[in-house]
Amino acid sequence: MPDTSIRTVIIPAAGKGTRLLPATKVTAKELLPVYDRVVLDFAIEEAIGIGAERIVVVINTEKVAIQAYLSGHPGTVTGGLGKDQSRTPGPEMIFVFQDQPLGLGHAVLCCKEVTLPGPFAVLLPDDIILRANCLAEMAAHYSGGHMVAAMQVKPEEASQYGIFRLAGLPRDNCFPVAGMVEKPAQGEAPSSIAAVGRYILDPVIFDALGRITPGKGGELQLTDAIALSGASTPVVAFKFSGIRHDCGNHDGLLGASVAWQKLGRRDLASGPLKVPQSLPKGAGVRAMLRKVKVPDPVARATLSAMPVDTQ
């Protein structure tokens, strides 16, 4: 049996956040607040929750505040673990710079040399999924090939998503996929099942990413690479159980804040909601990570990846 453990999680965070202007003129969208946390905390915790050995964060040279936040740079909150929290070493962290806005597919391709062997995950921090660890659910059902998180959308919303062309009935929340269409025109969607920002990918995706040409918006689309490699690699869409909030826009960010505030006040004994307990604050998230070295500001533009200082 092939090893299907997920050792690497890639978190693309180089986007400009234009849907959240004017707030993102000075603050990275991943550092905007969701009640008592920031957007990025949820992504880091989800990656830690599946036992990832390495987290690769893709940023650009205008968003080094993300690097400072995660490394306990002066001016950010730092702190140790609580008495009831694990002190086992967390995953290492690597920063990869993507200074050309060439799309999600290009962001993933930039990580080729720092991705550990075997399948890896891609987690879009804009998509906060509450109530359950989506990547953990996916990993529990993953048996090879490519797996993409999925949810049902209204017909009028299909043009905002990558939409699956299904190839059969679902089994254990997994839909077999015959192809994907990125943001189809109104009325041309092949189904109502849309891709959400969680992927588990076989390394063959890197070959496909190197072969595709720019698609929608002149960018290298990850969905195009998945469709291309799907000719020889099985693809499934996984319907997750959590509640997704699109924190790339104002309404979604507000909705996530309200939902998280309500979730945090809920008595765990009264229902099945899965409220994260191990890392209740951003400082707790950072405490689980090995120390990250912040490069000299002059040198950072020439770096393609920054290794972790494990000393």
> Within this chain, do residues 189 and 164 fall inside the same structural domain, yes or no?
yes
- Is 190 inside a domain boundary? yes
> Within this chain, do residues 9 and 124 fall inside the same structural domain, yes or no?
yes
> Within this chain, do residues 35 and 119 fall inside the same structural domain, yes or no?
yes
pTM: 0.81
Cα separation, 203 vs 146, in Å, equals: 9
Which has the higher per-residue pLDDT, 119 or 218? 119
- pLDDT over 90 (residue 118): yes
Task: Give the CATH number, domain containing residue 303.
Answer: 3.90.550
Cα separation, 253 vs 247, in Å, equals: 4
What are the Cα distances from residue 141, in Å, to 84, 135, 177? 30, 10, 15
The percent of residues in the chain predicted with pLDDT above 90, rounded, is 51
- Is 83 inside a domain boundary? yes
pLDDT value of residue 217: 75
- Is 6 inside a domain boundary? yes
> Within this chain, do residues 270 and 125 fall inside the same structural domain, yes or no?
yes
> Within this chain, do residues 119 and 56 fall inside the same structural domain, yes or no?
yes
Cα separation, 138 vs 151, in Å, equals: 13
Task: Give the CATH number, domain containing residue 174.
Answer: 3.90.550.10
> Within this chain, do residues 120 and 250 fall inside the same structural domain, yes or no?
yes
- Domain span at residue 62 reads 1-132+242-311
pLDDT value of residue 3: 66
pLDDT value of residue 17: 80
pLDDT value of residue 127: 95
> Within this chain, do residues 111 and 159 fall inside the same structural domain, yes or no?
no
- Is 54 inside a domain boundary? yes
Domain end call among 234, 266, 289 = 234
Cα atoms in the 13 Å half-sphere on the side-chain side of 131: 12
pLDDT digits (tens, 9 = 90+) for 239-280: 999 999 999 999 999 999 999 999 875 443 333 333 333 333
> Within this chain, do residues 98 and 152 fall inside the same structural domain, yes or no?
no
> Within this chain, do residues 15 and 111 fall inside the same structural domain, yes or no?
yes
For residues 58-84, give the mean pLDDT. Answer: 63
- Is 138 inside a domain boundary? no
> Within this chain, do residues 81 and 187 fall inside the same structural domain, yes or no?
no
- Is 36 inside a domain boundary? yes
- Is 74 inside a domain boundary? yes
- Is 227 inside a domain boundary? yes
Contact 234, 144 (CB under 8 A): yes
Number of domains in the chain: 2
> Within this chain, do residues 191 and 254 fall inside the same structural domain, yes or no?
no
Nearest to 146 by CA among 175, 170, 188, 125: 175
> Within this chain, do residues 258 and 121 fall inside the same structural domain, yes or no?
yes
Q: Which residues, listed in sequence order, are joined to residue 163 by a DSSP beta bridge?
A: 181, 194
pLDDT value of residue 271: 35
The percent of residues in the chain predicted with pLDDT above 70, rounded, is 78
